[in-house]
Amino acid sequence: MRNFVVVATFIACAFSGLQKLHAQSTELGIMAGTSLYSGDLSPKEFGLYVGEVSPAFGFFGRFNVSQTFAFRLGVSLGKVSADDANHNRADRGLNFRSNITEFALTGELNLFKLVNYQDRGVMPYLFGGVALFHFNPETKFDGDYIELQPLGTEGQGLPGYDAPYQLTQLALPLGLGVKFILNETITLGLEFGGRKLFTDYLDDVSDMQVNYFELLEGNGELAATLSNPTLKDPSPVTADYRRGGEFKDWYYFGGLTLSFRLQGNGGGGFGSGKGIGCPTF
């Protein structure tokens, strides 16, 4: 965690060095909240499944271009998971978990300011941008967790099937939040956002049709078994199946943010210029 603090401080102070207009200001902040998943292993495309919500946290630097718009650069860490056993899917028997590490550049659009009193106020906002995230789905099998991507449980790498999916990919964050400007230095926030993905393999499950015997021959017994754990006596009649469904994969981060404006950054409409200073090295 110490390394993340150093990186986040460096990001915010680097932003501070780029400022040339008095109306600009830079903030250093932290996020604490939750992460969750929706996709092929969830019963609905969007929903809150309390048993599959995990803690999340992050660090960020916010560069206020004006009272209306800000850039934000940050890193967030969380975990996503799902289990058919939690959703009465005994016919399929799939489960997964994956840690998420995300580096994101987003823009924040401040909509309006409520309860405007001196340096205080309440400001709802929308955000969107681009992110690079890393994931690595695992499944629980015989008491151990096994990495799924190297196995090719949907025939990845075999003729007629997809190529192995990459574990680091792009995403598009989008969401909304509200900032509570407590004074000229401190801002408390509450936000929630989803990530539009360009892969359907966050959970190692897609709507690809696979053949058990082709998996068995090409990728091995473990890949074939984990592809469909409920298939106990495969035959030519039951060998073809789709593991997933119509829902595309998403992951979400939500929670509280706390940010501090750095010293020497004009108010940007939020204060008179006081703040905390960047460390010297």
Structural domain includes residue 31: yes
State mean pLDDT over 188-201. 96
- Pick the range with the lowest mean pLDDT from 108-117, 169-178, 230-239: 108-117
State mean pLDDT over 75-92. 90
Examine the pLDDT at 207 and tell me if it is beyond 70.
yes
The string of pLDDT tens digits covering residues 138-180 is 999 988 999 999 999 999 999 999 999 999 999 999 999 999 9
Q: How many CA atoms lie within 13 A of 75 on its CB side?
A: 13
- Contact predicate 115/179, CB 8 Å: no
Q: What is the pLDDT of residue 232?
A: 86
Q: How many CA atoms lie within 13 A of 247 on its CB side?
A: 19
Domain span holding position 49: 2-207+247-261
The string of pLDDT tens digits covering residues 15-60 is 444 444 334 589 999 999 999 999 999 877 666 676 789 999 999 9
Structural domain includes residue 187: yes
Structural domain includes residue 277: no
Q: Domain with 140 in it: what CATH number?
A: 2.40.160.20
Number of domains within the chain = 1
Q: What is the pLDDT of residue 264?
A: 55
Structural domain includes residue 115: yes
Q: Which residue has the higher pLDDT, 278 or 36?
A: 36
Enter the tokens of residue 158: 């075999």
Structural domain includes residue 118: yes
* Reported confidence tier of residue 85, pLDDT bands at 50, 70, 90: confident
Q: What is the pLDDT of residue 46?
A: 67
Structural domain includes residue 152: yes
pTM over 0.75: yes
> Which region, left, alpha or beta, applies to residue 13 given φ > 0 means left and ψ of -120 to 50 means alpha?
alpha
Enter the tokens of residue 171: 């995403």
* Reported confidence tier of residue 3, pLDDT bands at 50, 70, 90: very low
Q: What is the pLDDT of residue 19?
A: 44
Structural domain includes residue 230: no
